[in-house]
Amino acid sequence: MSIYEEIEIEDMTFDPDELIYTYPCPCGDKFRITLEELWDGEDIAKCPSCTLRIAVIFDEEDLPELPPDEDEEEEEEPAEELQTKMQTLKESNRIKQATIQVAALFVQLELLQTMLFQHLVERWTTNCRGTRQ
């Protein structure tokens, strides 16, 4: 397979939606090479309708940034969401724990009050008995 022509990347047409570089082929179709292929070091643009190829002359530094992989992005988002959910869960757990601790304190306080009351009643009863005797 021979190279039909060497083309500067500036002379090619970039489709920012498809992320593809095209250049008119003499057969009427277009040579095409994706931005990803260029980033991978590929420099041969092929025509899907004939056997012609062109060599693309480019500097990697001049290439537009490759957008992040959509699959990865999709994976990242739920992970972040999960983290937020986990954090919310942790926080609500902390609140629950704090509530339980406060409730436990109240129970203890009530128990203490009851004990104190019982103690007082006992003392009062003994005192009464004592004074009666």
Pick from 19, 29, 39, 46: which binds Zn ion (CB under 5 A)?
29
Pick from 7, 20, 47, 54: which binds Zn ion (CB under 5 A)?
47
> Is residue 7 a contact partner of residue 56, using CB atoms and an 8 Å limit?
yes
Q: Which residues contact 9 (CB under 8 A, 6 or more apart)?
A: 21, 38, 56, 57, 58, 62, 63
**Piece in contact with Zn ion (CB under 5 A), picked from 9-17, 41-49, 78-86, 101-109:** 41-49
Residue reference for tokens 């060497």: 6
Q: Kindly state whether residue 4 participates in binding Zn ion, applying the rule CB under 5 A.
A: no
Pick from 9, 25, 35, 38: which binds Zn ion (CB under 5 A)?
25
- Binding residues (CB under 5 A) for Zn ion: these are 25, 27, 29, 47, 49-50, 52
